Amino acid sequence: MSVVRFIKRSHTLYNAYLSLRVFLKYKSFSPSKLKVTGSDNFIHTNPKERRGKSLLMSNASGQQWIKQFWLKAVDLNPNLVLDCGINYGEILFFPIYNKETMVLGFEADPTIIPLILKSQNIHPNKDQMQVFHCLLSNKTEEEASFYIKKNWSGGSSAILDESLKQTDLEEIKVQKDSIDNLIKDLHFSNDLLLFKIDVEGYEPFVIEGMEETLASFKNTIGTIEFNPEFFEPIDVEIQDYLDSLFNRFKVYIWKNEDTLSEITSSSKEEFIRNLRNSYANTDIILATSSELVQRLGYKLA
């Protein structure tokens, strides 16, 4: 067994190992600013938690398929961009946007919001951006439980599933709200909407809470996480959720970074099988037309 694999068995040892590597790279134990791989833009992270340390070490080089999709879609000059589940913003702050694009981000974890705002403040499109601190859902409520995963911010969720129960958590209360309600007084053109939804299982509620927004746009394209393991704790029937997606969108999976494949059957079993064999595993692309996907420049299998 390698030394690193042995160290990874202990959260304490692995965190210390990452802290040492961060220090050797940045000559500081508490750097927060990093340049995102493949971009000229910078983001801020929390160097005290493991995901923040990992981003510092890799310069946020992960999820290349999402980043490339985001760049391609931004080149279509969307009128409105929605990043639902910002985390540290390695997707939201990755590109330069058209000066006419309104860019909105949503994050439930209050410990990350100050870092997101610091990243916004150094982004070339900062004046076109607005950040909302809330738990996105299908309704507006004063408070709802949200569980911060202290050792890996990317796993924080409003859903207390078995995997979260076994980790070091902090339960907080966050206001619930829907996209339809949050943006109802904003003004933008309605030709093209671009979105990303990665909210650790709350995706069905977020989609339901943006129905009016989706209906108001001529064209829509986005990427969404689809993890069947999250849906049982929130009593979401996978087949019903799939049917709602197929009724509104054309659905695509990644065959590789450059090639997409359209999924034409909404059968739960077949869809999950295709998803698990896909390049991006739990990420899918949703679009209102095949023409819109073709404009992104992907090969279609």
User: Which residues does residue 133 pair with via DSSP β-bridges, in sequence order?
Assistant: 107
Give the pair of three-digit tokens for residue 167: 């980790």
Domains of the chain: 62-300 (3.40.50.150)
Cα distance between residue 125 and residue 163, in whole Å: 38
Cα distance between residue 240 and residue 95, in whole Å: 35
Q: How many CB atoms lie within 10 A of CB 239?
A: 12
What angle (nearest 5°) sits at the alpha carbon of residue 288, between those of residues 286 and 290? 90
Q: In which band, very low, low, confident or very high, does the pLDDT at 233 lie, cut at 50, 70 and 90?
A: confident
- Match 């738990």 to its residue by tokens: 135
Average pLDDT estimate for 32-44: 97
Residues 6+ apart with CB under 8 A from 212: 180
pLDDT of residue 2 exceeding 90 = no
Q: In which band, very low, low, confident or very high, does the pLDDT at 4 lie, cut at 50, 70 and 90?
A: low
Please say whether the beta carbons of 147 and 164 come within 8 A: yes
Average pLDDT estimate for 138-158: 83
Give the pair of three-digit tokens for residue 259: 């090639």
> Computed over its alpha carbons, how large is the radius of gyration of the chain?
19
Residue with the larger pLDDT of the pair 4 and 213: 213
Question: What distance, in Å, lies between the first and last C-alpha atoms of the chain?
Answer: 40
**Amino acid (one-letter) located at 44:** H
Q: Sheet of 219-225: strands edge to edge?
A: 129-133, 102-107, 80-84, 192-197, 219-225, 283-287, 250-256, 259-263, 299-300
Q: How many CB atoms lie within 10 A of CB 19?
A: 16
| Coil/strand/helix, residue 230 | helix
Q: How many CB atoms lie within 10 A of CB 50?
A: 19
Residues 6+ apart with CB under 8 A from 244: 204, 207
Question: No. of H helices and E strands in the chain?
Answer: 12, 14
Beta-sheet pairing, 102-107 with 129-133: parallel
Average pLDDT estimate for 217-242: 89
What angle (nearest 5°) sits at the alpha carbon of residue 299, between those of residues 295 and 301? 125
| The 3-state secondary structure of 231-287, one letter per residue | CHHHCCCHHHHHHHHHHHCEEEEEEECCEEEEECCCCHHHHHHHHHCCCCCCEEEEE
Can you give the pLDDT at residue 151?
75
Cα distance between residue 145 and residue 172, in whole Å: 6
Q: In which band, very low, low, confident or very high, does the pLDDT at 158 lie, cut at 50, 70 and 90?
A: confident
Can you give the pLDDT at residue 162?
62
pLDDT of residue 3 exceeding 60 = no
| Coil/strand/helix, residue 143 | strand
